[in-house]
A and B are shown apart, each in its own frame.
Chain A
Amino acid sequence: MSEQKLTGAQIVIKALKDQGVDIIFGYPGGAVLPIYDALFQQNDLKHVLVRHEQAAVHAAEGYARSTGKVGCVLVTSGPGATNAVTGLLDALCDSIPIVCLSGQVPTHLIGNDAFQEADTTGITRPCTKHNYLVKDVDSLARTLHEAFYVARSGRPGPVLVDIPKDVQFADGSYVPPAEVKHKTYRPQVKAEIARIEEAVELIANAKRPVFYTGGGVINAGPFAAKLLTQFVKTTGYPITSTLMGLGAFPASDNQWLGMVGMHGTYEANLAMYECDVMINIGARFDDRVTGKLSAFSPGSKKIHVDIDPSSINKNVAVDIPIVGDCGAVLEDMLRIWKARAKSPDKAALKEWWGKVEGWRARNCLNYNRTESVIKPQYALERLREALRGKDHYITTEVGQHQMWAAQFLPFDQPNRWMTSGGLGTMGYGLPAAIGAQLAHPDAIVVDVSGEASFLMNMQEIGTAVQYRAPVKIFILNNQYMGMVRQWQELLHGSRYSQSYSEALPDFVKLAEAWGCVGLRATTVAEVDQVIEKMLAVTDRPCIVDIAVDQKENCFPMIPGGKAHNEILFGPDDSPSDATPEDGMVLV
C-alpha cells in the first residue's frame, strides 16, 4: 500500500494546516497529550497557550471575527471541555465560526466514569452548531474537514470534535479536504429571484423606509458590507443596525442613524417605529431590538433577509421573507434595482428625512459634561479622537461600558468591532482582544472594559504578555457592576444588592506585577495624557484604570416590555411608570 499511514494526532495537525489554520488557542491535558506532542514536532501551526479554556474560545472568536476565518481551539477532556462551554455558546449565539477539538478518554473507557471523563458531545450539543465524537481513526480526517465546512457555511457557528486518546495514537489514513463532501448540509446561499424582485418594488415605493441590518452582513464578508453601503447610498434611505452589525455601513456617513435597540439612538428607534418599509438584512428581531413585540413597528411592511430559515417569522411576522446569504441577496437587489431603473420617491423621502433629522436634533447621546468627574462617555469620546485615522480594533466586555462603546465609538469598516451580543458574556473582551491582536500584530487593539468584567478573565494578561500582544485594556472603573446597578436603580428601588465591586485590586500595580504598563486617570485633565501614553506602548499589554462617575447611567434606554416610542432619555425621565409589571420579568 503506497498510502502513508499517520497517527490520529498527526492527522489532526495535517487537517488543520490543510484548512488554513495558522493559530490554535488551547490548553494541554492528559487526553490531548498526543496532539500536543505532534504540535511540538512541527513549526507551521502556532499554538497559543491560554490560562483558561473559556478564554481559548473567546480568543478564537476574536481571531475569527477580525479575520473572517474559522477560529480554532484545542482543549483536554472533562474540565477542559466544560470550561470551553461558555465560549462555545457565546460563538453559537453570535454566529462565529469556531472549530473546537477536545480530548476524550480512550474509547474503551467511555461510559465508565473515568478520570477527567465528561459526556462532552452530550454537554455541548445545545451549545454548538454541530458536534462529533470520532471513534475510528480512519474517519478522523473526514470529520475534521466536515467540521470546518459546517462551521463556516450557512449561518456560521461553533463545531466541536471530541477525539478519544486511543484514536489520537492509532494509525489511520488521511484524506485531503477536496475529497470530502458533506452528505446533507447545503445551506441556501442564492435566494429566490421572484422574492428579491418583490422586495425591490416595495423598497422603491417606500415613503418612510429604513434599513435595519445585523451581524449577517458582517458574516457574509467585507464584500457584502460594500454592497450594502452601495445599495444604501443608491437609495438615500436611513440605516440603523444591531450591536452585531456595527461597521457594515460607515458610521461617518450622514445616512447612519446609530445603533437600534434598548440602548440605541432616539432617531434609530423612532425611525423603526414609524417606518412604512423595514428592510432587515441579516438581523434577527432580537428582543433587545424589538422591545414590546405587539408595538414593534406597527405600520410597516417588513422584508427579512437571513441565511437561516429558522430566523424568519420566529419573533416578528414579515411580509417578504428572503432566505439567502446577505452578500448574494444584496448583489441581486442592486442588479435588479439598476436594471429596472428604480429611484426613490424623492418628495416622500425628503419629508421622511425631515422627520428623522428632527429626532436626531434631540441629540439623545448628550450627557452632562462636567469638569468635576470623568464621565465614561467623555473617556470614550477622547479614545475615539485618539484612534481616529489609526488602524484599530475594538473589543468589549459586557455591561454599561459595552453600550457606551457601541454608542460613542464609530465604525467605518466591518470586522473591527467584537462584542458578546447574544450571550452577553462578561470576560469576553480581553481574550477576544488577544485573538484579534495576534491576527493583526501591527494594529491597535483596545478592550473597552469595566472593572467587574475584567476580573472575570484577567488571568489572560499572562497570555498577552507571553505572546507580546500589546492589547490595551481600557477600564471604565465605576466600582459597580454598572448595568446591574442601573437596573436596580430603575426597577428595584435603588436596592443595590451585591452589585458593588468590593475589594478591587490596584490595577496599576496589577499591571506592573505582570510586567505590563499600568496607567490611571482620576481627573478629566488626565484622560488625554493617559490615552496618549497607552497608545505609545507597543511591546506589552497596557492596563488603563479610568476612575469614572460611579452613578452614571446608560441612556437612551427602552425599558423591558416598552415600545420604541417610550424611550427614556436620562435620569430626569421618571422610571417608576416606565416599566410595566410584565416588563419587569424580562431580562
Chain B
Amino acid sequence: MENAIEKHTIAVLVDNEPGVLARVIGLFSGRGYNIESLTVAEVNNADHLSRITLVTSGTRMIIEQIKAQLGRLVPVHRVHDLTDEGPSVERELALVKVAGTGDRRIEALRLADIFKAKVVDATLTSFVFELTGTTEQVDDFVGLMTQLGLVEASRTGVVAMSKGPAAF
C-alpha cells in the first residue's frame, strides 16, 4: 500500500571532501528521515571518491524523496537504490566479545563454528569472535551469545553491492 513502510538499502557515491558526511547526515536529521545503518569509506583513492551505504525506512514517497534529496547534494555523484534495482548482496561485519568458563565457553565456541565466525582474540575467560554475514545472521549470532556471556558487540552496519557484472 501507499503508506506501507519499506526498508531500502541505498548506495551513494560522493566526493571524499570535508563535510560531505555531515551533509548526508544533516539531510536525514533535518528532514526527519530514518537511518538504520550507515557506513562510509573511500573506495577510489585516485579520484577521492567515497561510497556511503545506508539503510533507511519510510513510505514509498519518503524513499523517493530521500533519493532525490541525496541526488541534489552538490558533492554527490550517483545514488542507487539497491533494493529497487534488482538482486544485491548485503553483508555486515561484527566483533562479538563473550566472557565465561566451562560449558558456556565450549558452547559459545561450538556455535561460532556453526556460524563460521573466527576467533580473533582469546583469553582463558573470553573470546572475541569476528563474524561476517547478513544482518539477520549477525542478529541471530548476537542473540545466541547474549545467553552465553555476551560482553559487547560492535557492528559495521550494512555494505551492499548489486549482483552480476554491472558496475555502480
Contact = CB atoms under 8 A, between A and B. Distances in A.
A181 interface: no
Nearest to A317: B61
Interface stretch (B18-26, B123-131, B150-158, B159-167): B18-26
A129 interface: yes
Given A184-B15, A184-B77, A310-B71, A125 B23 contact: yes
- Interface size bracket, B side: 10 to 19
B76 A184 contact: yes
Interface string A293-320: 0000000000000001110111001000
A129 B74 contact: yes
B72 A133 contact: no
B74 A125 contact: no
Contact of B72 (A125, A310, A313, A317): A310
Given A150-B74, A184-B76, A184-B77, A309 B68 contact: yes
B61 A313 contact: yes
Contact of B68 (A126, A183, A310): A310
B71 A309 contact: yes
Interface in B1-56: 15, 18-19, 22-23, 26, 30
B113 interface: no
A133 B26 contact: no
B30 A184 contact: no
B137 interface: no
Interface string B95-138: 00000000000000000000000000000000000000000000
B64 A133 contact: no
Nearest to A130: B74
Contacts of B68: 309-310, 312, 314
A121 interface: yes
B69 interface: yes
Contact of B75 (A184, A308, A312, A313): A184
B65 interface: yes
A133 B18 contact: yes
A314 B68 CA distance: 10
Contacts of B23: 125
B164 to A, nearest CB: 26
A309 B72 contact: yes
B22 A122 contact: yes
Most chain A beta-carbon contacts within 10 A, residue among B30, B72, B74:
B74
B22 A185 contact: no
B72 A308 contact: yes
A185 B30 CA distance: 22
Contacts of A131: 19
A185 B74 contact: yes
Contacts of A308: 72
A313 B64 contact: yes
A314 B77 CA distance: 22
Nearest to A187: B72
Contacts of A185: 74
A219 to B, nearest CB: 15
Contacts of B19: 121-122, 125, 131, 133
Contacts of B65: 310, 313-314
Interface of B: 15, 18-19, 22-23, 26, 30, 61, 64-65, 68-69, 71-72, 74-77
Interface of A: 121-122, 125-126, 129-131, 133, 150, 154-155, 183-185, 308-310, 312-314, 317
16 contacts: A125-B22, A125-B23, A133-B18, A133-B19, A150-B74, A184-B75, A184-B77, A185-B74, A309-B71, A310-B65, A310-B68, A310-B69, A310-B71, A313-B65, A314-B65, A317-B61
The 6 tightest CB contacts between A and B, nearest first, are: A310-B68, A130-B74, A309-B68, A310-B69, A184-B77, A185-B74
Given A121-B19, A309-B71, A310-B72, 9 more contacts: A122-B19, A122-B22, A125-B22, A126-B26, A184-B15, A184-B74, A309-B68, A309-B72, A310-B69
